[in-house]
Structure 1
């Protein structure tokens, strides 16, 4: 038991360190700025609602929810992201609470929130069922759970598949993040504890990058998971060059007329009474 707890702490520490690398705020602001507001609208968050954003990062969903009039708690495992989020919220005039919390063990009461959201965040918790159980637990009966997750078949899902051969093996029990973008997987995770499940495959159109190499270099500089993979192979120049080529080729395959289509799954569900 003690050994298991120590492994879990080490896994969580690794996740915190990974997401503190680079600058996720730049990715959220320059590449996918509209995703959070899309989720807030789909979940119907507004005045009078108590909202929890799980794995909130720098507040891509939490800040729009607060600006829509909701009372918002933004929770994340990585304190560096929360600090950046606080500054961004202040710049936009949004008032909300920022709290460090583990998506697999949320420090909130049963049914504490009217709407529980996560925008490409909770999908990165290693134990999917544990995280899903917490999403349901803290949502009040009749409340709404709203998620946006990258799909396995979409660009970001394929990016993780491309990086996998170069990355260290995942910890025991960890599941691939893009599985959260599968309708069947999410329905199985939430089970009969929710009703009125609606899933929609949508896409964000990305025109931030002039060419595939610019995309690759941007993610090498700013996106924690990509930075971590490159650090793992830093002493192997041939593998670094191969990953450089693989990521550029992936971006090239998903580009058309200077734009990239990044597919995601939008999920809304109602907590059963």
Structure 2
């Protein structure tokens, strides 16, 4: 039997394919659209500042940053998401640069940005310390960092916990994405390299789904991590049924009679020393 070897490059290829599957731009525009403007306002992005959005996806935060007059680079490991971003930017009559880039090895010079942001994006890179180091490296001294990350105990964190039992094991050294939603973890990643840190838990009110089943089916069709877990169990009907039930039950517990769900996230802003 041949031995299969997984290299870092293979991990990146798999990660890119995961986020290219489905329709993440639909999630960005239909479910979490307000997070981008929230982050831009919180970090205080101003006209003519040079801004890097890492793991930008289709530009949920990058486009609002461009709308205030900043010079924005939207970077992501998955350039397949850029077409939807470019279309939305054109509709809003703003210009920005789209750049394929891995947050763990950014292709930018040291201290080349005034602001570095990420909206539920960088948290999904497998090696947290490498991502934090690169975010710091490309931001100038006195520049600012702004992050929005799902918390472990919030709805999306619990969704990942529900899917974990059905997911293939992560690659060696990979850390769970929702850890980025833990303030202590974020502070440890950046250490003494940041100052003036604010970290607040906030909630996104989601009114997109009328039933638990509608939520589940939407995420099965659009959201890369959910799609990947279902594909891994495609030949196991019992596991698929159990996962169906688990995700619907999670949504049922969160969905109010008014059709609103509250998804908790951690908003972090800081100044680079």
TM range (shorter): over 0.9
Q: Which runs of 5+ in 2 are unaligned?
A: none
Distance (whole Å) between structure 1 residues aligned to residue 6 and residue 145 of structure 2: 31
Q: Which runs of 5+ in 1 are unaligned?
A: none
Distance (whole Å) between structure 2 residues aligned to residue 86 and residue 106 of structure 1: 21
Distance (whole Å) between structure 1 residues aligned to residue 174 and residue 229 of structure 2: 17
Paired residues of 1:144 and 1:270 also in contact (CA < 8 A): yes
Structure-2 residue corresponding to 1:242:
242
Distance (whole Å) between structure 2 residues aligned to residue 176 and residue 114 of structure 1: 29
Structure-1 residue corresponding to 2:262:
261
Deviation at 1:203, TM superposition (A): 0.5
Deviation at 1:185, TM superposition (A): 0.2
Distance (whole Å) between structure 1 residues aligned to residue 161 and residue 7 of structure 2: 25
* Partner SS for 1:105: coil
Deviation at 1:90, TM superposition (A): 1.1
Say whether residues 1:271 and 2:272 are aligned partners.
Answer: yes
Paired residues of 1:27 and 1:222 also in contact (CA < 8 A): yes
Structure-2 residue corresponding to 1:78:
78
* Partner SS for 2:239: helix
Q: CA RMSD in A?
A: 0.9
Distance (whole Å) between structure 2 residues aligned to residue 82 and residue 197 of structure 1: 31
Structure-1 residue corresponding to 2:54:
54
Aligned residues: 268
Deviation at 1:59, TM superposition (A): 0.1
Distance (whole Å) between structure 2 residues aligned to residue 6 and residue 110 of structure 1: 30
Distance (whole Å) between structure 1 residues aligned to residue 218 and residue 6 of structure 2: 34
List aligned pairs for 1:83-162, cutoff 5 A.
83-162=83-162
TM, length-normalised to structure 2: 0.97
Distance (whole Å) between structure 1 residues aligned to residue 168 and residue 189 of structure 2: 26
Distance (whole Å) between structure 2 residues aligned to residue 185 and residue 256 of structure 1: 31
* Partner SS for 2:65: helix
TM, length-normalised to structure 1: 0.97
Structure-2 residue corresponding to 1:223:
223
List structure 1 segments (4+ residues) > 3 angstroms apart after TM superposition: none
- More displaced 10-residue stretch of structure 1: 10-19 or 83-92: 83-92
Paired residues of 1:207 and 1:259 also in contact (CA < 8 A): yes
* Partner SS for 1:83: helix
Deviation at 1:83, TM superposition (A): 2.2
Q: Deviations over 1:11-57 (max 9, x none)?
A: 10001000001100000100011000000000111202000000000
Deviation at 1:6, TM superposition (A): 6.3
Deviation at 1:233, TM superposition (A): 0.3
Deviation at 1:79, TM superposition (A): 1.1
